[in-house]
Amino acid sequence: YAMLLSLIFLIVLVAAVVGFVFRHEIKTNFESNLNLALKDYNVTADQHSEAVDTIQRTLHCCGVQNYSDWERTEYFRQKGIPRSCCKSPDDCSEQDLKDPNKAKLKVFVDGCFFLVTSTMESKMSIVAGISFGIACFQLIGIVLACCLSRYITNNQYEMV
């Protein structure tokens, strides 16, 4: 049992170190995937499109760097900027969303990449604290399992 807990502890520790060391690559990968999701955005029940809409609605942002990122997409040529970018969904018409100058007043102008990464970084202290707490419990479990094993071997019980 102690060995199993030790293995789990080491896996979590390695994952934390790798995540910390490669955080810049993770950001770059996230940015390229967000750009790809914008490029392939459509209104059908596509998971990537739903994720983009959810991010834009939740964080009150639009595009990757800013709302003008949508101008380089096929979706913009057909329907304009998505409704998930609108500050007030009742105030956004399709004509406004097709015109970048009018859309600037109706949609969120900040990009999602910076907001997502800053939100993740602000929550990292909470995640680190919870992880540290779990690691402490695992270490206590490892020590207690080793103590129990030692106690059992020292008191050689007779097998019946």
Encode pLDDT of 116-160 as tens digits.
Answer: 888 888 887 788 788 888 888 899 999 999 998 888 887 765 555
CA distance 51 to 65: 17
Q: Work out how many domains the chain is built from and give that number.
A: 1
What single-letter DSSP state applies at residue 87? S
Percentage of the chain exceeding pLDDT 70 = 95
Place of tokens 């999602």: 112
Answer whether 114's CB lies under 8 Å from 64's CB: no
Q: Which residue has the higher pLDDT, 118 or 45?
A: 118
The mean per-residue pLDDT over the stretch 14-19 comes to 82
User: What pTM was computed for the model?
Assistant: 0.67
CATH number at residue 44: 1.10.1450.10
Region label for 49, one of left (φ > 0), alpha (ψ between -120 and 50) or beta (otherwise): alpha
Number of H helices, E strands in the chain: 7, 0
Which residues form the domain of 6? 1-158
Q: What are phi and psi of 110, to 5 degrees?
A: -75, 145
For residue 15 the two structure tokens come to 């994952």
